[in-house]
């Protein structure tokens, strides 16, 4: 099973920053998950919201040039910087949040030697990314349980189903696997659930907890994980 640090390991460092991603690697996470938008000049940056808020100003990423944005929020990284940092160290799952930025994301990914995948709540974004990069591994995010999740994957030409953890069960995993897909649980912050997910055939756990691999080894043998909490 793959353990994915949600926005990096952000127990000590700010989420979606280089330091948070480095900490995830130090904690032996297999992968990180991050969010991207694009600036007015087409630079793909890693941030959850479309607006960057500092103590002095609130800036729209889409409406601001990279140099201005970087000067106001120096911890905000470019996707290319994160990919360079994690090349050969961890898989990078890129959630595309900004609208109509697929070509910027594709160009950034094509220039990198890192291992990466793309996913989004906007399934049309995923389809457009697949058309730009036919060999790209892609996924769709779901916060609800669809009647036919396999059909949603096929419609987006995706293979990874990022499913909100409360709606995962054997039937869903079997449905997705029969369609040639994989289920990734997000955001699963209860280590006691992880063993159950593993038994079902879930391939990835996206979590906010900086516990891996201690929590998994303890939950797998039924032990307490409270001592490992930071």
**All residues at 6 or more sequence positions from 190 whose CB lies less than 8 Å from its CB, including other chains:** none
Q: What architecture does CATH give domain 2-228?
A: Alpha-Beta Barrel (3.20)
The C-alpha angle 55, 57, 60, rounded to 5 degrees, equals: 130
* Overall residue count recorded for the chain in this entry: 230
Side-chain-facing half-sphere of 21: CA atoms under 13 Å: 29
Q: What does the pLDDT look like over 30-87, one tens digit per residue?
A: 999 999 999 999 999 999 999 999 888 899 999 999 999 999 999 999 999 999 999 9
Name the pLDDT band for 227 (thresholds 50, 70, 90).
very low
Residue with tokens 């100003």: 57
Is the model more confident about 230 or about 184?
A: 184
For residue 24, the model assigns a pLDDT of 96
For residue 224, the model assigns a pLDDT of 38
For residue 156 the two structure tokens come to 């987006």
For residue 213, the model assigns a pLDDT of 63
Domain ranges for the chain? 2-228
CA distance 80 to 93: 13
Q: What does the pLDDT look like over 117-175, one tens digit per residue?
A: 999 999 999 999 999 999 999 999 999 999 999 999 999 999 999 999 999 999 999 99
- DSSP helix/strand/coil, 99: coil
Q: What is the mean pLDDT of the chain?
A: 93
Name the pLDDT band for 230 (thresholds 50, 70, 90).
very low
Q: What is the mean pLDDT of residues 100-118?
A: 98
Model confidence, pTM: 0.93
CA distance 65 to 215: 42
Residue 28 has pLDDT above 50, yes or no: yes
Q: Where are the alpha helices (DSSP H) in the chain?
A: 18-26, 66-72, 79-86, 102-110, 123-132, 149-156, 170-178, 191-200, 214-220
Q: What percent of the chain has pLDDT over 90?
A: 88
Name the pLDDT band for 16 (thresholds 50, 70, 90).
very high
């Amino acid at each position: 099973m793959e353990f994915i640090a949600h926005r990096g390991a952000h127990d000590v460092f700010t989420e979606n920053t280089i330091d948070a991603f480095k900490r995830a690697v130090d904690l032996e996470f297999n992968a990180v998950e991050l969010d991207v938008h694009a600036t007015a000049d087409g630079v793909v940056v890693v941030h959850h919201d479309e607006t960057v808020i500092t103590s002095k100003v609130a800036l729209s990423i889409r409406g601001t040039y990279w140099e201005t944005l970087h000067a106001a929020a120096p911890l905000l990284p470019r996707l290319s910087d994160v990919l360079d940092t994690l090349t050969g160290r961890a898989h990078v799952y890129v959630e595309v949040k900004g609208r109509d930025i697929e070509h910027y994301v594709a160009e950034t990914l094509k220039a990198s030697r890192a291992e990466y995948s793309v996913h989004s709540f906007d399934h049309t974004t995923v389809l457009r990314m697949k058309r730009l990069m036919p060999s790209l591994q892609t996924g769709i995010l779901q916060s609800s349980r669809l009647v036919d999740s396999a059909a949603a994957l096929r419609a987006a030409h995706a293979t990874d189903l990022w499913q909100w953890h409360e709606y995962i069960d054997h039937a869903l995993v079997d449905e997705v696997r029969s369609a040639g897909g994989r289920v990734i649980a997000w955001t699963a912050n209860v280590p006691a659930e992880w063993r159950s997910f593993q038994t079902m055939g879930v391939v990835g756990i996206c979590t906010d907890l900086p516990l891996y691999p201690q929590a998994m080894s303890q939950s797998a043998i039924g032990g307490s994980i409270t001592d490992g909490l930071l």
